[in-house]
Each structure stands twice: as structure tokens, then as C-alpha cells.
């Protein structure tokens, strides 16, 4: 079985760091300490990583092509979980929210 490409592993490492550090996509989340909402129960954290992974694209060479887009969509999910008045634009597609088995 092959490993994920280094660029993909790096994307997950950076995403996890910014998420845990409270500095994920500051223009969306700067006014919220989202960590209690996301990390108190496993399902929030699970959904955040699912959105990030579902949106993340990798080219044939194993290079991530849209890290910022994947990070942004995950941040939008967090903001919506913390702020019911926040409008996700564009709305999430079903495939973005899927929890892979």
C-alpha cells in the first residue's frame, strides 16, 4: 500500500496545526474561539476534517492544488456551527459534507 504523497500529508499537518492553534482562516473565524465547539465532541472535529479532505484536490504528481479552498470551506463549516446566522456561500454540496467510511 502506498503512502499519501508528501504534499497531501503536509496539507493535513498544516490544517491540523492552524485548527488546533485557533488561527484557521482568520478572515472567517477571527471573532470566534471555535475550539470548544469543534473539539468538545468528536463529531464536530470529524466533520471539519471530512470537509477539508472532501474538498482537497491532488494532481497526478501528488501535489495539492487547492489547499486554501479546502481550508476555507472547513472554516465556513466551523463558523456555521458557531454562528447560526452565518450564511455559507455557496451552500455546501452533499459531497463536501460526506463522512467517508
Q: How far apart are the first and last CA of the chain?
A: 18
pLDDT at 31: 82
pLDDT tens readout for residues 36-69? 888 877 789 999 999 999 999 999 999 999 999 9
Run of H or E residues at 44: helix 42-55
Average pLDDT over residues 14-32: 91
Own/partner long-range contacts of 81-89 (Cβ < 8 Å, ≥24 apart): 81/34, 81/37, 81/38, 81/44, 82/32, 82/34, 82/37, 83/32
- Structure confidence by residue, pLDDT tens digits, 71-96: 999 999 999 999 999 999 999 999 99
Residue 1 pLDDT greater than 70, yes or no? no
Give the 3-state secondary structure percentages of the chain, helix then strand then coil, rounded to 5: 60, 0, 40
- Positive or negative torsion for Cα 86, 97, 66, 82: positive
Of the pLDDT bands very low, low, confident and very high (cuts 50, 70, 90), residue 2 is confident
Half-sphere exposure of 19 (CA within 13 A, CB side): 26
Amino acid at each position: 500500500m502506498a503512502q499519501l504523497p508528501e504534499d497531501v500529508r503536509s496539507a493535513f499537518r498544516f490544517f491540523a496545526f492552524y485548527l488546533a492553534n485557533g488561527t484557521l482562516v482568520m478572515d472567517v473565524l477571527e471573532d470566534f474561539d471555535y475550539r470548544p465547539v469543534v473539539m468538545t465532541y468528536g463529531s464536530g472535529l470529524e466533520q471539519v476534517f471530512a470537509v477539508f479532505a472532501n474538498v482537497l484536490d491532488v494532481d497526478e504528481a501528488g501535489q495539492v492544488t487547492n489547499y486554501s479552498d479546502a481550508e476555507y470551506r472547513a472554516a465556513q463549516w466551523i463558523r456555521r456551527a458557531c454562528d447560526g446566522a452565518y450564511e455559507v456561500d455557496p451552500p455546501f454540496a452533499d459531497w463536501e459534507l460526506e463522512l467517508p467510511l
